[in-house]
Every structure is written in C-alpha cells, then in structure tokens.
Amino acid sequence: MPAPAPAPRTVGVDPERLHGWLERFAARHGELRATPSGDELACEAPDGAGARLWLPWGALPETADPLAAVVAYHLTDRTVGALLVRRRAHAVGIFHGTELLQARRDHHYVQGRTKAGGWSQQRYARRRSNQAAHAFGEAAEDAASILLPRLGELEALVTGGDKAAVRAVLETPGLEPLRELAARTPHSVLPVADPNAGVLAAFAGQFRSVRIRLNELA
C-alpha cells in the first residue's frame, strides 16, 4: 500500500532561524508568493506547498517584500509582561526581547488531592481550596507590584501555566488593566512546569517562537 500523504501540521521556529527556514522552504518548493491575510502571512509555492506564518503582534507594515518584513517583524525586540501561575508556584516578569528585565517568583504549599470520602474529603477540599486562593492572592500581589507600574511600556501580557489559575489571578480586583491587556494578546495560556527561575527565563523562547501552519504538500 502507498504511504499515506503527510497531514497538515504546525511547527515552531525561533525568530533568529526564520530567514534560513524560509530560504530552505523556497529551495525545496520554489519561489514563494507571500500575502498578508488577517493575522497570518500566507506563503504559497508553485508546487502547491503552503506555509502560514502567525502574526501575533499586529499587522505587518505594508511593503513590497513581505518575506523580509515578516523576518524583521519577528526579530523586533518587544517589551512583554509574563504571568506564569500554577497552584504550587508563580512567576511574574518583564522581558525586552529575550532579556528578563525584572522578575519575582514564589512557591506555595497546596495539598494534593485525597481519596478519602465523606466529611473528611469535604474538609480536605476546603483546606486545599483556601491554600490555592492564598497562593493566587500572592501571585496577584506580585503581578500588581511588577507589571502595573510599567503597564504603559508593555506591548502584551503573555500567560502560562494552568488556565484556571491564571484566570483566578487576573480576576483579582485591581488587576483589570492586566486582564484587558491579556485579553488583547492573542497567545493562549502556554504550558509550563511549576514556575521557577529557569522556567521563567525560558518562557521568552515559547512566546517568541514563530508558529507556522504547513499544508499537506509542505
């Protein structure tokens, strides 16, 4: 039986490697025709191969060479807030490009789940919920301390960790400006381990990665 045709897929490319990636794609498939399309740059090759590059930071500037423009777009150093929250840890930071300008991190004690039943389980669940609420409150305090004073500098607020935990922090009274900024940022809540110094430092690599959707011929 013939091998099945490749399925469409999505890849991530570091901004610093994007120029070379586009050159190699064109070498395999032919000269690319690039057209901005909403929040993507659609690239089509003569053999039908296609690549759609995500534009999470707004529209590309109008130019006669959109391929060069998209490389410059993704290499631009942007000032971005980061909020990483899980039950047992949180980290808040401000990046300029890959440089971490300011950060604060903390760990929390939140009990794991129990298999006990009845009243014991209910008491345990209440205690665990209270511990999580305390952890999220501390994360909200750090977000207010680090991010709110520099809100006017931030182009985006990128979040990571547990979706419910991030939502709980951003719904804290007083953090409405951060919630609005996060809502305008098209990144989803990115997956991260319990935040520590290494996880936060590496987070820039996640949110800067160029997301490229490839069709079945690419």
102 and 31 share one domain: no
Alpha carbons within 13 angstroms on the beta-carbon side of residue 190 total 24
Strand, coil or helix: 133: helix
Enclosing domain of residue 131: 79-208
Single out the residue of 165, 159, 169 nearest to residue 190, CA to CA: 159
Using one digit for the tens of pLDDT, what is the confidence trace for 33-82? 999 988 999 999 999 999 999 999 999 998 989 999 999 999 999 999 99
135 and 195 share one domain: yes
149 and 190 share one domain: yes
146 and 88 share one domain: yes
Give the per-residue SS3 of 52-96: EEECCCCCCCCCCCHHHHHHHHHHCCCEEEEEEEECCEEEEEEEE
119 part of a folded domain: yes
Distance spanning both ends of the chain, measured CA to CA: 22
Q: How far apart are alpha carbons 18 and 6 in whole angstroms? A: 22
Which of the residue ranges 59-63, 126-130, 139-143, 170-174 would you say has the lowest mean pLDDT? 126-130
Using one digit for the tens of pLDDT, what is the confidence trace for 116-128? 444 455 655 566 5
Q: Is the pTM of this model over 0.75?
A: yes
3 part of a folded domain: no
1 part of a folded domain: no
144 and 40 share one domain: no
Q: What is the CATH number of the domain that holds 124?
A: 3.30.420.60
- For the chain, the C-alpha Rg in angstroms (whole number) is 21
Instruction: Give, for 177, the enclosing helix (H) or strand (E).
Output: helix 176-184
Strand, coil or helix: 55: coil
4 part of a folded domain: no
